[in-house]
Structure 1
Amino acid sequence: MDRLFGWNVRGLNKTSKQREVMRMISNKRIGFVSLLETRVKTSNMGSLYLNMFKGWCFTSNLTHHPNGRIVVAWNPYSFDVDIRGSSSQWMHFLVSIKNGDQFAITVVYAFNDMKGRESLWADLEKLGYEINCPWIVMGDFNSVLSPSDRLPHCGNGSELVPFQTCVEHCRLVDVKFSGSFFTWNNKQAGKDRVYAKLDRVLANDSWMEKYISAEVIFFREGEMDHSPFLVNFGSVQENRKPFRYFNFWSNLAGFQRAVAESWNEDVKGTPMFCLVSKLKRLRVELKKINKEGKGAVFVQEAKKFKLMLEIQEKIQADPSNI
Protein backbone atom coordinates (compact mmCIF):
# COMPACT_ATOMS: atom_id res chain seq x y z
CA MET A 1 0.00 0.00 0.00
CA ASP A 2 1.24 3.49 -0.81
CA ARG A 3 2.17 5.71 2.10
CA LEU A 4 0.97 8.99 3.56
CA PHE A 5 3.29 11.98 3.71
CA GLY A 6 3.23 15.36 5.41
CA TRP A 7 5.55 18.36 5.61
CA ASN A 8 5.39 21.96 6.72
CA VAL A 9 7.49 23.36 3.88
CA ARG A 10 7.26 27.04 4.88
CA GLY A 11 6.78 28.20 1.32
CA LEU A 12 6.52 26.17 -1.88
CA ASN A 13 6.98 28.79 -4.59
CA LYS A 14 10.69 28.05 -5.07
CA THR A 15 11.49 25.28 -7.54
CA SER A 16 14.24 23.98 -5.22
CA LYS A 17 11.65 23.17 -2.55
CA GLN A 18 9.33 21.68 -5.11
CA ARG A 19 12.11 19.38 -6.31
CA GLU A 20 12.90 18.30 -2.75
CA VAL A 21 9.27 17.32 -2.12
CA MET A 22 9.08 15.54 -5.49
CA ARG A 23 12.23 13.59 -4.63
CA MET A 24 10.63 12.36 -1.40
CA ILE A 25 7.45 11.36 -3.22
CA SER A 26 9.40 9.42 -5.85
CA ASN A 27 11.78 7.65 -3.46
CA LYS A 28 9.34 6.70 -0.68
CA ARG A 29 6.37 5.24 -2.59
CA ILE A 30 3.98 7.97 -1.45
CA GLY A 31 0.37 8.10 -2.62
CA PHE A 32 -1.11 10.84 -0.40
CA VAL A 33 0.69 14.14 0.21
CA SER A 34 -0.19 16.95 2.63
CA LEU A 35 1.88 20.12 2.40
CA LEU A 36 1.50 22.91 4.95
CA GLU A 37 2.35 26.62 4.98
CA THR A 38 2.77 26.54 1.21
CA ARG A 39 2.23 30.31 0.76
CA VAL A 40 1.08 29.62 -2.79
CA LYS A 41 -1.51 32.11 -4.00
CA THR A 42 -4.55 31.19 -6.10
CA SER A 43 -2.93 32.52 -9.28
CA ASN A 44 0.05 30.16 -8.85
CA MET A 45 -1.80 26.98 -7.86
CA GLY A 46 -2.13 25.86 -11.47
CA SER A 47 1.62 26.06 -12.01
CA LEU A 48 2.25 24.19 -8.76
CA TYR A 49 -0.05 21.38 -9.90
CA LEU A 50 1.61 21.10 -13.32
CA ASN A 51 5.12 21.18 -11.81
CA MET A 52 4.53 18.65 -9.04
CA PHE A 53 1.31 16.67 -9.30
CA LYS A 54 0.36 16.32 -12.95
CA GLY A 55 -1.87 13.26 -13.28
CA TRP A 56 -2.73 13.29 -9.58
CA CYS A 57 -5.81 14.69 -7.84
CA PHE A 58 -5.23 17.99 -6.08
CA THR A 59 -6.99 20.35 -3.67
CA SER A 60 -6.31 23.12 -1.15
CA ASN A 61 -8.08 25.22 1.48
CA LEU A 62 -7.58 28.51 -0.38
CA THR A 63 -11.31 29.25 -0.20
CA HIS A 64 -10.93 29.55 3.59
CA HIS A 65 -7.60 31.36 3.74
CA PRO A 66 -5.74 33.37 1.06
CA ASN A 67 -2.22 32.32 2.04
CA GLY A 68 -2.23 28.76 0.70
CA ARG A 69 -2.03 27.11 4.10
CA ILE A 70 -2.83 23.47 3.14
CA VAL A 71 -2.32 21.63 -0.16
CA VAL A 72 -3.28 17.97 -0.51
CA ALA A 73 -2.63 15.70 -3.48
CA TRP A 74 -3.13 11.98 -4.05
CA ASN A 75 -2.43 9.36 -6.65
CA PRO A 76 -5.82 8.19 -8.01
CA TYR A 77 -4.32 4.77 -8.76
CA SER A 78 -3.61 4.34 -5.04
CA PHE A 79 -6.53 6.03 -3.28
CA ASP A 80 -10.06 7.24 -3.93
CA VAL A 81 -10.53 10.38 -1.84
CA ASP A 82 -13.76 12.16 -0.96
CA ILE A 83 -13.36 15.68 0.42
CA ARG A 84 -15.73 15.92 3.40
CA GLY A 85 -14.94 19.34 4.84
CA SER A 86 -12.35 22.05 5.36
CA SER A 87 -11.55 25.26 7.20
CA SER A 88 -8.61 27.62 7.50
CA GLN A 89 -6.89 25.10 9.83
CA TRP A 90 -7.91 21.65 8.61
CA MET A 91 -9.09 19.53 5.70
CA HIS A 92 -11.05 16.32 6.19
CA PHE A 93 -11.22 13.37 3.79
CA LEU A 94 -12.70 9.90 3.49
CA VAL A 95 -10.14 7.65 1.84
CA SER A 96 -10.91 4.39 0.06
CA ILE A 97 -8.14 1.95 -0.73
CA LYS A 98 -8.30 -0.29 -3.78
CA ASN A 99 -8.72 -3.37 -1.55
CA GLY A 100 -12.02 -1.94 -0.24
CA ASP A 101 -10.78 -0.54 3.10
CA GLN A 102 -11.86 2.95 4.17
CA PHE A 103 -10.56 5.41 6.73
CA ALA A 104 -10.79 9.11 7.46
CA ILE A 105 -7.86 11.55 7.32
CA THR A 106 -7.83 15.02 8.81
CA VAL A 107 -4.88 17.20 7.78
CA VAL A 108 -4.14 19.95 10.31
CA TYR A 109 -2.18 23.18 10.13
CA ALA A 110 -3.02 25.06 13.30
CA PHE A 111 -2.72 28.80 13.82
CA ASN A 112 0.27 29.84 15.92
CA ASP A 113 -1.77 31.70 18.55
CA MET A 114 -3.69 30.09 21.35
CA LYS A 115 -6.90 32.03 20.68
CA GLY A 116 -6.86 31.16 17.00
CA ARG A 117 -6.58 27.44 17.76
CA GLU A 118 -9.76 27.38 19.83
CA SER A 119 -11.95 26.84 16.75
CA LEU A 120 -9.64 24.02 15.58
CA TRP A 121 -10.01 22.07 18.82
CA ALA A 122 -13.79 22.54 18.70
CA ASP A 123 -13.96 21.37 15.07
CA LEU A 124 -11.83 18.30 15.77
CA GLU A 125 -13.99 17.34 18.74
CA LYS A 126 -17.08 17.64 16.54
CA LEU A 127 -15.48 15.44 13.88
CA GLY A 128 -14.45 12.92 16.52
CA TYR A 129 -17.99 12.72 17.82
CA GLU A 130 -19.40 12.06 14.34
CA ILE A 131 -16.77 9.62 13.03
CA ASN A 132 -17.53 5.91 13.16
CA CYS A 133 -14.59 4.57 11.15
CA PRO A 134 -10.78 4.40 11.44
CA TRP A 135 -9.49 7.97 11.72
CA ILE A 136 -6.01 9.48 11.46
CA VAL A 137 -5.21 13.14 12.22
CA MET A 138 -1.85 14.47 11.07
CA GLY A 139 -0.01 17.72 10.56
CA ASP A 140 1.42 20.71 12.39
CA PHE A 141 -0.61 21.44 15.53
CA ASN A 142 1.54 24.44 16.59
CA SER A 143 1.17 23.19 20.15
CA VAL A 144 2.75 20.48 22.28
CA LEU A 145 1.02 17.83 24.38
CA SER A 146 3.43 17.77 27.33
CA PRO A 147 6.22 19.95 28.76
CA SER A 148 8.82 17.40 27.61
CA ASP A 149 7.76 18.04 24.00
CA ARG A 150 9.62 21.35 24.09
CA LEU A 151 13.13 22.51 24.98
CA PRO A 152 13.46 24.70 26.91
CA HIS A 153 10.38 23.32 28.68
CA CYS A 154 7.11 25.24 28.65
CA GLY A 155 6.81 27.72 31.47
CA ASN A 156 3.01 27.82 31.55
CA GLY A 157 1.37 24.37 31.54
CA SER A 158 -2.07 25.91 30.99
CA GLU A 159 -1.18 26.49 27.33
CA LEU A 160 -1.14 22.72 26.83
CA VAL A 161 -4.59 22.06 28.25
CA PRO A 162 -6.77 22.84 25.18
CA PHE A 163 -4.80 20.45 22.94
CA GLN A 164 -4.69 17.79 25.66
CA THR A 165 -8.44 18.08 26.19
CA CYS A 166 -9.15 17.82 22.47
CA VAL A 167 -7.02 14.70 22.08
CA GLU A 168 -8.70 13.12 25.10
CA HIS A 169 -12.23 13.91 23.90
CA CYS A 170 -11.44 12.59 20.42
CA ARG A 171 -9.80 9.49 21.92
CA LEU A 172 -6.68 9.94 19.84
CA VAL A 173 -3.19 8.60 20.54
CA ASP A 174 0.18 8.99 18.85
CA VAL A 175 0.84 6.42 16.17
CA LYS A 176 4.11 4.61 16.92
CA PHE A 177 6.95 6.70 15.53
CA SER A 178 10.69 6.71 15.02
CA GLY A 179 13.29 9.17 13.81
CA SER A 180 13.44 12.75 15.08
CA PHE A 181 11.55 13.34 18.33
CA PHE A 182 11.56 17.13 18.05
CA THR A 183 9.99 18.01 14.70
CA TRP A 184 10.67 21.76 14.67
CA ASN A 185 13.41 24.12 15.72
CA ASN A 186 13.89 27.83 15.27
CA LYS A 187 17.31 27.47 13.57
CA GLN A 188 18.91 29.82 16.11
CA ALA A 189 22.43 29.24 17.41
CA GLY A 190 23.54 28.08 20.85
CA LYS A 191 21.31 28.85 23.82
CA ASP A 192 18.80 30.65 21.60
CA ARG A 193 17.85 27.36 19.89
CA VAL A 194 14.31 26.14 20.68
CA TYR A 195 13.01 22.63 19.90
CA ALA A 196 9.43 21.38 19.90
CA LYS A 197 7.35 18.43 18.80
CA LEU A 198 4.75 20.39 16.85
CA ASP A 199 4.10 17.82 14.12
CA ARG A 200 2.26 14.63 15.03
CA VAL A 201 0.28 11.73 13.62
CA LEU A 202 -2.63 10.75 15.87
CA ALA A 203 -5.22 8.03 15.38
CA ASN A 204 -8.31 6.60 17.06
CA ASP A 205 -8.59 3.06 18.43
CA SER A 206 -10.30 1.81 15.29
CA TRP A 207 -7.41 2.95 13.07
CA MET A 208 -4.79 1.57 15.46
CA GLU A 209 -6.50 -1.82 15.57
CA LYS A 210 -6.88 -2.00 11.79
CA TYR A 211 -3.30 -0.96 11.01
CA ILE A 212 -1.57 -2.55 13.97
CA SER A 213 1.89 -2.53 12.35
CA ALA A 214 1.69 1.10 11.19
CA GLU A 215 4.63 3.36 11.97
CA VAL A 216 5.50 7.01 11.39
CA ILE A 217 9.02 8.08 10.45
CA PHE A 218 10.06 11.66 11.19
CA PHE A 219 13.03 12.53 9.01
CA ARG A 220 15.68 15.12 9.78
CA GLU A 221 14.62 18.58 8.66
CA GLY A 222 17.62 19.38 6.47
CA GLU A 223 17.42 23.01 5.39
CA MET A 224 13.79 23.37 6.52
CA ASP A 225 12.67 24.11 10.07
CA HIS A 226 10.10 21.26 10.23
CA SER A 227 10.71 17.53 9.85
CA PRO A 228 8.84 15.72 7.07
CA PHE A 229 7.00 12.58 8.12
CA LEU A 230 5.99 9.35 6.41
CA VAL A 231 3.18 7.02 7.52
CA ASN A 232 3.88 3.37 6.77
CA PHE A 233 0.90 1.05 6.99
CA GLY A 234 3.21 -1.94 7.43
CA SER A 235 6.12 -3.74 5.83
CA VAL A 236 6.39 -2.55 2.23
CA GLN A 237 8.82 -3.73 -0.42
CA GLU A 238 10.63 -0.77 -1.95
CA ASN A 239 10.13 -0.30 -5.68
CA ARG A 240 13.11 -0.24 -8.01
CA LYS A 241 13.98 3.30 -8.97
CA PRO A 242 12.94 4.16 -12.55
CA PHE A 243 15.58 5.30 -15.03
CA ARG A 244 15.69 9.07 -15.49
CA TYR A 245 17.78 11.23 -17.81
CA PHE A 246 19.32 14.38 -16.29
CA ASN A 247 20.32 17.34 -18.46
CA PHE A 248 23.58 17.93 -16.58
CA TRP A 249 24.92 14.59 -17.87
CA SER A 250 25.72 16.24 -21.22
CA ASN A 251 28.30 18.43 -19.44
CA LEU A 252 30.14 15.52 -17.84
CA ALA A 253 33.45 14.23 -19.16
CA GLY A 254 33.05 11.24 -21.45
CA PHE A 255 29.35 11.77 -22.17
CA GLN A 256 29.64 12.44 -25.92
CA ARG A 257 32.14 9.62 -26.44
CA ALA A 258 30.06 7.08 -24.49
CA VAL A 259 26.89 7.97 -26.39
CA ALA A 260 28.62 7.76 -29.78
CA GLU A 261 30.36 4.45 -29.05
CA SER A 262 27.25 2.84 -27.66
CA TRP A 263 25.01 4.08 -30.48
CA ASN A 264 27.39 3.26 -33.33
CA GLU A 265 27.98 -0.34 -32.28
CA ASP A 266 26.28 -2.61 -34.80
CA VAL A 267 23.09 -4.50 -33.83
CA LYS A 268 21.41 -7.08 -36.07
CA GLY A 269 17.64 -7.37 -36.30
CA THR A 270 14.51 -5.39 -37.14
CA PRO A 271 14.67 -1.58 -36.88
CA MET A 272 12.62 -1.61 -33.66
CA PHE A 273 14.77 -4.36 -32.11
CA CYS A 274 17.92 -2.40 -32.99
CA LEU A 275 16.52 0.80 -31.46
CA VAL A 276 15.46 -0.89 -28.20
CA SER A 277 18.78 -2.74 -27.93
CA LYS A 278 20.79 0.45 -28.38
CA LEU A 279 18.68 2.31 -25.82
CA LYS A 280 19.14 -0.47 -23.27
CA ARG A 281 22.89 -0.50 -23.83
CA LEU A 282 23.07 3.28 -23.64
CA ARG A 283 21.14 3.22 -20.38
CA VAL A 284 23.88 1.14 -18.77
CA GLU A 285 26.58 3.55 -19.96
CA LEU A 286 24.66 6.61 -18.75
CA LYS A 287 24.25 5.08 -15.30
CA LYS A 288 28.02 4.62 -15.12
CA ILE A 289 28.61 8.23 -16.19
CA ASN A 290 26.02 9.42 -13.65
CA LYS A 291 27.76 7.58 -10.83
CA GLU A 292 31.17 8.91 -11.79
CA GLY A 293 29.92 12.41 -12.60
CA LYS A 294 28.02 12.89 -9.38
CA GLY A 295 31.17 12.01 -7.47
CA ALA A 296 33.19 14.56 -9.39
CA VAL A 297 30.66 17.39 -9.67
CA PHE A 298 28.69 17.19 -6.44
CA VAL A 299 31.11 15.65 -3.95
CA GLN A 300 31.61 18.88 -1.97
CA GLU A 301 27.89 19.65 -1.76
CA ALA A 302 27.13 16.08 -0.76
CA LYS A 303 29.76 16.15 1.99
CA LYS A 304 28.40 19.41 3.38
CA PHE A 305 24.82 18.17 3.34
CA LYS A 306 25.81 14.89 4.98
CA LEU A 307 27.69 16.78 7.68
CA MET A 308 24.63 18.96 8.32
CA LEU A 309 22.40 15.89 8.73
CA GLU A 310 24.93 14.24 11.07
CA ILE A 311 25.02 17.36 13.23
CA GLN A 312 21.20 17.48 13.32
CA GLU A 313 21.12 13.83 14.38
CA LYS A 314 23.54 14.51 17.24
CA ILE A 315 21.47 17.51 18.32
CA GLN A 316 18.30 15.37 18.34
CA ALA A 317 20.11 12.84 20.57
CA ASP A 318 21.28 15.50 23.05
CA PRO A 319 19.51 18.83 22.37
CA SER A 320 20.61 20.38 25.65
CA ASN A 321 24.28 20.11 24.62
CA ILE A 322 24.50 22.96 22.11
Structure 2
Amino acid sequence: MKILSWNIRGGLKEDAWNHLNILLKHHKHDITLLVETHLNDENSLTCIKKFGSSWPGTYVAGDVRAGGIVLVWKNGLMNIQMLYSCSQVINALVTPIRGSPWLLSGIYASNCPKERGCLWKFLSSIDTADLPWVLIGDFNCIDNQIDKRGGNQFKWGHSIGYFNELCSSSRLTEVKFQGGRFTWCNNRLGKKRILARLDKALVNREWWAKENISPLEKELKATKAELDELEKLDEQGSCSEADIIKMKCLSNKAI
Protein backbone atom coordinates (compact mmCIF):
# COMPACT_ATOMS: atom_id res chain seq x y z
CA MET A 1 0.00 0.00 0.00
CA LYS A 2 1.53 3.33 -1.11
CA ILE A 3 0.32 6.69 0.18
CA LEU A 4 1.18 10.05 -1.38
CA SER A 5 0.80 13.15 0.78
CA TRP A 6 1.48 16.59 -0.68
CA ASN A 7 0.93 20.18 0.42
CA ILE A 8 -0.07 21.23 -3.06
CA ARG A 9 -0.85 24.93 -2.35
CA GLY A 10 -3.59 25.06 -4.94
CA GLY A 11 -5.38 21.89 -6.00
CA LEU A 12 -6.14 22.90 -9.59
CA LYS A 13 -2.88 24.58 -10.62
CA GLU A 14 -1.65 23.27 -13.96
CA ASP A 15 2.03 23.04 -12.96
CA ALA A 16 1.11 21.19 -9.76
CA TRP A 17 -0.96 18.67 -11.71
CA ASN A 18 1.81 18.13 -14.23
CA HIS A 19 4.11 17.22 -11.35
CA LEU A 20 1.42 15.15 -9.62
CA ASN A 21 0.81 13.08 -12.76
CA ILE A 22 4.53 12.33 -12.96
CA LEU A 23 4.54 11.19 -9.32
CA LEU A 24 1.46 9.01 -9.79
CA LYS A 25 2.89 7.40 -12.91
CA HIS A 26 6.29 6.75 -11.33
CA HIS A 27 5.30 5.63 -7.82
CA LYS A 28 1.82 4.20 -8.54
CA HIS A 29 0.22 5.35 -5.28
CA ASP A 30 -2.89 3.64 -3.96
CA ILE A 31 -4.01 6.57 -1.78
CA THR A 32 -3.37 10.27 -2.43
CA LEU A 33 -3.77 13.05 0.13
CA LEU A 34 -3.63 16.68 -1.00
CA VAL A 35 -3.65 19.47 1.60
CA GLU A 36 -3.86 23.25 1.31
CA THR A 37 -5.92 22.84 -1.85
CA HIS A 38 -7.50 26.33 -1.60
CA LEU A 39 -10.66 24.83 -3.12
CA ASN A 40 -14.34 25.35 -2.31
CA ASP A 41 -16.91 22.54 -2.52
CA GLU A 42 -17.40 22.74 -6.29
CA ASN A 43 -13.69 22.94 -7.12
CA SER A 44 -12.84 20.16 -4.64
CA LEU A 45 -15.17 17.86 -6.59
CA THR A 46 -13.51 19.02 -9.83
CA CYS A 47 -10.12 18.14 -8.33
CA ILE A 48 -11.31 14.63 -7.45
CA LYS A 49 -12.72 14.13 -10.97
CA LYS A 50 -9.32 15.00 -12.46
CA PHE A 51 -7.96 11.74 -11.00
CA GLY A 52 -10.36 9.77 -13.20
CA SER A 53 -13.37 7.52 -12.67
CA SER A 54 -11.28 4.83 -10.95
CA TRP A 55 -10.42 7.20 -8.08
CA PRO A 56 -13.29 7.85 -5.64
CA GLY A 57 -12.62 10.45 -2.99
CA THR A 58 -13.73 12.85 -0.30
CA TYR A 59 -12.74 16.35 0.73
CA VAL A 60 -12.84 19.18 3.24
CA ALA A 61 -13.46 22.51 1.51
CA GLY A 62 -11.18 25.50 1.96
CA ASP A 63 -11.20 28.91 0.28
CA VAL A 64 -9.10 30.63 -2.38
CA ARG A 65 -6.44 31.66 0.15
CA ALA A 66 -6.18 28.82 2.65
CA GLY A 67 -7.35 25.41 3.80
CA GLY A 68 -8.74 22.42 2.01
CA ILE A 69 -8.06 18.67 2.02
CA VAL A 70 -8.67 16.12 -0.74
CA LEU A 71 -8.35 12.36 -0.19
CA VAL A 72 -8.67 9.89 -3.09
CA TRP A 73 -7.99 6.17 -3.44
CA LYS A 74 -7.85 3.52 -6.14
CA ASN A 75 -11.18 1.83 -6.67
CA GLY A 76 -11.22 -1.96 -6.32
CA LEU A 77 -8.23 -2.18 -3.97
CA MET A 78 -9.94 -1.13 -0.75
CA ASN A 79 -13.06 0.21 0.88
CA ILE A 80 -12.72 3.47 2.80
CA GLN A 81 -15.23 4.56 5.42
CA MET A 82 -15.11 8.18 6.57
CA LEU A 83 -15.13 8.42 10.37
CA TYR A 84 -14.61 12.14 10.96
CA SER A 85 -13.45 15.24 9.12
CA CYS A 86 -12.76 18.89 9.90
CA SER A 87 -10.46 21.61 8.59
CA GLN A 88 -7.42 19.89 10.15
CA VAL A 89 -7.94 16.18 9.53
CA ILE A 90 -9.77 13.44 7.66
CA ASN A 91 -10.08 10.22 9.67
CA ALA A 92 -10.96 7.05 7.80
CA LEU A 93 -11.15 3.29 8.23
CA VAL A 94 -9.32 1.56 5.37
CA THR A 95 -10.32 -2.03 4.61
CA PRO A 96 -8.22 -3.59 1.83
CA ILE A 97 -9.93 -6.16 -0.39
CA ARG A 98 -7.11 -8.48 0.66
CA GLY A 99 -5.88 -7.68 4.12
CA SER A 100 -6.84 -6.37 7.53
CA PRO A 101 -8.41 -2.97 8.27
CA TRP A 102 -6.37 -0.01 9.49
CA LEU A 103 -6.91 3.62 10.41
CA LEU A 104 -5.79 6.61 8.35
CA SER A 105 -5.56 10.21 9.52
CA GLY A 106 -4.81 12.73 6.77
CA ILE A 107 -3.35 15.73 8.60
CA TYR A 108 -3.40 19.41 7.67
CA ALA A 109 -2.68 21.04 11.02
CA SER A 110 -3.52 24.68 11.61
CA ASN A 111 -0.97 27.50 11.71
CA CYS A 112 -2.51 28.48 15.04
CA PRO A 113 -0.82 26.68 17.99
CA LYS A 114 -4.07 26.67 20.00
CA GLU A 115 -6.01 25.02 17.17
CA ARG A 116 -3.18 22.51 16.62
CA GLY A 117 -3.30 21.68 20.31
CA CYS A 118 -7.02 20.90 19.96
CA LEU A 119 -6.21 18.57 17.07
CA TRP A 120 -3.55 16.67 19.04
CA LYS A 121 -5.93 16.33 22.02
CA PHE A 122 -8.70 15.05 19.75
CA LEU A 123 -6.42 12.48 18.12
CA SER A 124 -5.23 11.36 21.57
CA SER A 125 -8.85 10.59 22.48
CA ILE A 126 -9.38 8.20 19.55
CA ASP A 127 -9.96 4.57 20.46
CA THR A 128 -7.98 2.73 17.78
CA ALA A 129 -9.28 -0.66 18.96
CA ASP A 130 -5.71 -1.95 18.52
CA LEU A 131 -5.88 -1.32 14.77
CA PRO A 132 -2.80 -0.22 12.82
CA TRP A 133 -2.82 3.58 12.49
CA VAL A 134 -1.13 5.90 10.00
CA LEU A 135 -1.04 9.67 10.48
CA ILE A 136 0.34 11.46 7.43
CA GLY A 137 0.38 14.99 6.07
CA ASP A 138 1.38 18.52 7.05
CA PHE A 139 1.73 18.64 10.84
CA ASN A 140 2.74 22.32 10.76
CA CYS A 141 4.94 21.85 13.83
CA ILE A 142 8.27 20.52 15.01
CA ASP A 143 9.14 19.10 18.41
CA ASN A 144 12.91 19.58 18.44
CA GLN A 145 15.69 21.76 17.04
CA ILE A 146 16.85 19.00 14.67
CA ASP A 147 13.83 19.64 12.45
CA LYS A 148 14.53 23.36 12.04
CA ARG A 149 17.34 25.41 10.54
CA GLY A 150 17.53 29.19 10.76
CA GLY A 151 15.30 31.68 12.57
CA ASN A 152 14.68 31.63 16.31
CA GLN A 153 15.56 28.59 18.38
CA PHE A 154 12.84 26.02 18.89
CA LYS A 155 10.78 26.71 22.03
CA TRP A 156 8.51 24.41 23.96
CA GLY A 157 4.80 25.29 23.91
CA HIS A 158 1.48 23.84 25.05
CA SER A 159 0.62 22.53 21.57
CA ILE A 160 3.98 20.71 21.40
CA GLY A 161 3.23 19.19 24.79
CA TYR A 162 -0.10 17.89 23.48
CA PHE A 163 1.65 16.57 20.36
CA ASN A 164 4.20 14.67 22.43
CA GLU A 165 1.42 13.31 24.65
CA LEU A 166 -0.28 12.00 21.49
CA CYS A 167 2.91 10.31 20.31
CA SER A 168 3.58 8.85 23.75
CA SER A 169 0.07 7.61 24.57
CA SER A 170 -0.48 6.13 21.10
CA ARG A 171 3.12 4.84 20.80
CA LEU A 172 3.66 6.67 17.52
CA THR A 173 7.01 6.73 15.73
CA GLU A 174 8.00 8.51 12.54
CA VAL A 175 8.42 6.51 9.36
CA LYS A 176 11.95 6.64 7.98
CA PHE A 177 12.35 9.11 5.13
CA GLN A 178 14.61 9.42 2.11
CA GLY A 179 16.01 12.64 0.68
CA GLY A 180 16.32 15.99 2.41
CA ARG A 181 15.19 16.40 6.01
CA PHE A 182 13.39 19.71 5.51
CA THR A 183 10.03 19.89 3.73
CA TRP A 184 9.25 23.61 4.10
CA CYS A 185 11.11 26.83 3.36
CA ASN A 186 10.16 30.49 3.89
CA ASN A 187 11.68 31.33 0.48
CA ARG A 188 14.10 33.84 1.97
CA LEU A 189 17.84 33.95 1.40
CA GLY A 190 20.88 34.25 3.63
CA LYS A 191 20.39 34.66 7.38
CA LYS A 192 16.64 35.17 6.94
CA ARG A 193 16.19 31.72 5.41
CA ILE A 194 14.27 29.21 7.56
CA LEU A 195 13.88 25.50 6.84
CA ALA A 196 11.67 23.07 8.76
CA ARG A 197 10.41 19.50 8.63
CA LEU A 198 6.64 19.95 8.79
CA ASP A 199 5.48 17.04 6.61
CA LYS A 200 5.88 13.48 7.86
CA ALA A 201 4.19 10.16 8.55
CA LEU A 202 3.70 8.58 11.98
CA VAL A 203 2.55 5.03 12.69
CA ASN A 204 1.69 3.08 15.83
CA ARG A 205 3.15 -0.19 17.07
CA GLU A 206 0.32 -2.20 15.52
CA TRP A 207 1.34 -0.89 12.09
CA TRP A 208 4.92 -2.13 12.52
CA ALA A 209 3.56 -5.49 13.68
CA LYS A 210 1.35 -5.57 10.57
CA GLU A 211 4.48 -5.08 8.47
CA ASN A 212 6.20 -7.93 10.35
CA ILE A 213 8.65 -5.55 12.03
CA SER A 214 9.12 -5.76 15.78
CA PRO A 215 7.41 -2.61 17.09
CA LEU A 216 9.67 -2.48 20.13
CA GLU A 217 12.80 -2.83 17.99
CA LYS A 218 11.61 -0.15 15.57
CA GLU A 219 10.65 2.22 18.38
CA LEU A 220 14.00 1.72 20.11
CA LYS A 221 15.96 2.36 16.90
CA ALA A 222 13.98 5.53 16.20
CA THR A 223 14.48 6.74 19.77
CA LYS A 224 18.23 6.13 19.70
CA ALA A 225 18.60 7.82 16.30
CA GLU A 226 16.82 10.94 17.56
CA LEU A 227 18.84 10.87 20.76
CA ASP A 228 22.10 10.70 18.78
CA GLU A 229 21.14 13.79 16.79
CA LEU A 230 20.18 15.73 19.91
CA GLU A 231 23.47 14.79 21.58
CA LYS A 232 25.36 16.12 18.55
CA LEU A 233 23.51 19.42 18.87
CA ASP A 234 24.30 19.48 22.58
CA GLU A 235 28.01 19.02 21.87
CA GLN A 236 27.85 21.97 19.47
CA GLY A 237 26.07 24.09 22.07
CA SER A 238 23.00 24.38 19.82
CA CYS A 239 20.44 22.65 22.05
CA SER A 240 17.49 24.68 23.27
CA GLU A 241 16.00 24.18 26.74
CA ALA A 242 13.17 22.18 25.16
CA ASP A 243 15.68 19.92 23.40
CA ILE A 244 17.48 19.24 26.68
CA ILE A 245 14.18 18.25 28.31
CA LYS A 246 13.37 15.94 25.40
CA MET A 247 16.88 14.47 25.46
CA LYS A 248 16.42 13.45 29.10
CA CYS A 249 13.07 11.83 28.28
CA LEU A 250 14.54 9.95 25.33
CA SER A 251 17.50 8.78 27.42
CA ASN A 252 15.13 7.15 29.90
CA LYS A 253 13.10 5.65 27.06
CA ALA A 254 16.18 4.18 25.34
CA ILE A 255 17.43 2.37 28.44
For 2:119, the equivalent position in structure 1 comes to 120
- Contact kept? 1:61, 1:86, Cα under 8 Å: yes
For 2:135, the equivalent position in structure 1 comes to 137
Q: How far is the alpha carbon of 1:178 from its aligned partner?
A: 2.0
- Contact kept? 1:42, 1:68, Cα under 8 Å: no
Provide Cα deviations, 1:211-235, integer angstroms capped at 9, x if missing partner.
Answer: 246xxxxxxxxxxxxxxxxxxxxxx
For 1:195, the equivalent position in structure 2 comes to 195
CA distance in 2, matches of 1:162, 1:149: 18
Change (3 A) 1:130 1:209: closer
- Contact kept? 1:60, 1:68, Cα under 8 Å: no
For 1:32, the equivalent position in structure 2 comes to 31
Residue aligned with 1:115, SS: helix
**Deviates further, 41-50 or 166-175:** 41-50
Change (3 A) 1:48 1:108: same
Unpaired runs of at least 5, structure 1: 214-322
Q: How far is the alpha carbon of 1:205 from its aligned partner?
A: 0.4
CA distance in 1, matches of 2:128, 2:77: 26
Confirm or deny that 1:85 pairs with 2:84.
Answer: yes
For 2:75, the equivalent position in structure 1 comes to 76
Q: How far is the alpha carbon of 1:104 from its aligned partner?
A: 0.8
CA distance in 1, matches of 2:45, 2:162: 37
Q: How far is the alpha carbon of 1:93 from its aligned partner?
A: 1.0
Provide Cα deviations, 1:183-214, integer angstroms capped at 9, x if missing partner.
Answer: 1111211211111111110011000111246x
Residue aligned with 1:86, SS: strand
Unpaired runs of at least 5, structure 2: 214-255
Q: How far is the alpha carbon of 1:15 from its aligned partner?
A: 1.7
For 1:182, the equivalent position in structure 2 comes to 182
Q: What TM-score do the two structures reach when normalised by structure 2? A: 0.76
For 1:271, the equivalent position in structure 2 comes to none
Confirm or deny that 1:52 pairs with 2:51.
Answer: yes
For 1:149, the equivalent position in structure 2 comes to 147
Provide Cα deviations, 1:220-272, integer angstroms capped at 9, x if missing partner.
Answer: xxxxxxxxxxxxxxxxxxxxxxxxxxxxxxxxxxxxxxxxxxxxxxxxxxxxx
- Contact kept? 1:124, 1:170, Cα under 8 Å: no
Identity of aligned residues (%): 27
Provide Cα deviations, 1:19-40, integer angstroms capped at 9, x if missing partner.
Answer: 2112211210111000000001
How many pairs are equivalent?
Answer: 209
Q: What TM-score do the two structures reach when normalised by structure 1? A: 0.61
**CA RMSD, 1 decimal:** 1.8
